[in-house]
Amino acid sequence: DVGGHFGWALVSADFDRDGCDDLAGGAPGELVNGTTVSGGNVAVMYGTAKDASGISYRLFSQSDTKTGTSADGDRFGYSLAAGDFNHDHYPDLAIGVPGREVGSAADAGAVVVVYDIDSLDAQLWYQDIILAPDSSTPQDDSEAGDQFGTTLAVGDFDDAEADDLAIGIPFEDHSGLEQDSGMVQVLFGFGEIGLDDQKNAKFAAQYGHQELGYALAAGDFDGDGCDDLAMGLPLASGGATSDGEVLVFYGDTTAPEGFGTTRYDLHNQNNLPSVAPEDGDHFGAALAILPSPLYPLYLPLVTRN
The CA distance from 10 to 81, in Å, is 8
Q: What is the pLDDT, as a whole number, of residue 175?
A: 76
- Over its C-alpha atoms, the chain yields an Rg (Å, rounded) of 19
The Cβ-side half-sphere exposure at 228, using a 13 Å CA radius, reads 23
Mean pLDDT of 150-156: 98
| Distance separating alpha carbons of residues 140 and 138, to the nearest angstrom | 5
User: Which pLDDT score, from 0 to 100, does residue 133 have?
Assistant: 77
d(CA 268, CA 243): 8
Q: What is the pLDDT of residues 64-96, one digit of tens each?
A: 999 999 999 999 999 999 999 999 999 999 999
- The upper half-sphere exposure of residue 66, i.e. CA atoms within 13 Å in the direction of its Cβ, equals 7
Task: Answer yes or no: is pLDDT of 118 > 60.
Answer: yes
Q: How far, in Å, CA of 235 to CA of 102, rounded?
A: 27
CA distance 179 to 175: 9
Residue boundaries of the structural domains of the chain: 1-213, 214-305
Query: Which residues 6+ apart lie within 8 Å of 34 measured at CB?
Result: none
> pLDDT > 70: what percent of the chain?
91
Question: CA 294: distance to chain centroid?
Answer: 28
Residue 174's pLDDT is what? 82
Under the banding of pLDDT at 50, 70 and 90, the label for residue 299 is very low
> Among 41-45, 149-153, 249-253, whose mean pLDDT is lowest?
249-253
Q: How confident is the model at residue 302 (pLDDT cuts 50, 70, 90)?
A: low
pTM above 0.75, yes or no: yes
Percent of the chain scoring above 90 in pLDDT: 71
Average pLDDT, the chain: 90
pLDDT digit string, tens, across residues 211-237: 999 999 999 998 888 999 999 999 999
Q: Give pLDDT tens digits for 256-273.
A: 666 766 678 998 888 888
Residue 196, pLDDT above cutoff 90: no
Q: Does domain 1-213 have CATH number 3.40.50.170?
A: no
* Residue of 219, 259, 213 whose CA lies nearest to 236: 213
pLDDT in tens, 36-62: 999 999 999 999 887 766 689 999 999
- Average of pLDDT values for 14-38? 96
